[in-house]
Amino acid sequence: MQDRREQRGSVLAVLPLLLAGCAPMVNVAGVYFPGWLVSAVTGVVASYGLVVWLSRRPDARTLADSGLLFVSLVVGIAIAVWWTFFSGF
């Protein structure tokens, strides 16, 4: 009886590792990248552009200097890109 529980526990411990490779792949110039990486890079680049744009506006300069704004924009844009292009619905 104990062997069954140990086997089940071992299978459940390894299962997430096997499912980790099931991310959608994106072909960029002949090289395949995982979709989450494409979403993260898009979030960083778009956020940097928005922060630069905000820093040029005199009324939003203090907002653009906030590190929390940059991190929030990166996360929000990355999730939006993932949800739009890779969620599958």
pLDDT at 11: 64
Measuring CA to CA, which residue among 66, 32, 36 is closest to residue 51? Answer: 66
Report pLDDT digits (tens) over 56-79.
888 888 887 888 888 999 999 999
Mean pLDDT of 5-29: 64
Token pair in block for residue 28: 């960029």
pLDDT at 18: 57
Judge whether 43 and 82 are in contact, CB under 8 Å.
no
Residue type, 87: S
Domain ranges for the chain: 23-86
Report pLDDT digits (tens) over 39-58.
899 999 999 999 889 888 88
pLDDT at 1: 53
Mean pLDDT of 29-43: 83
* pTM listed for this prediction: 0.66
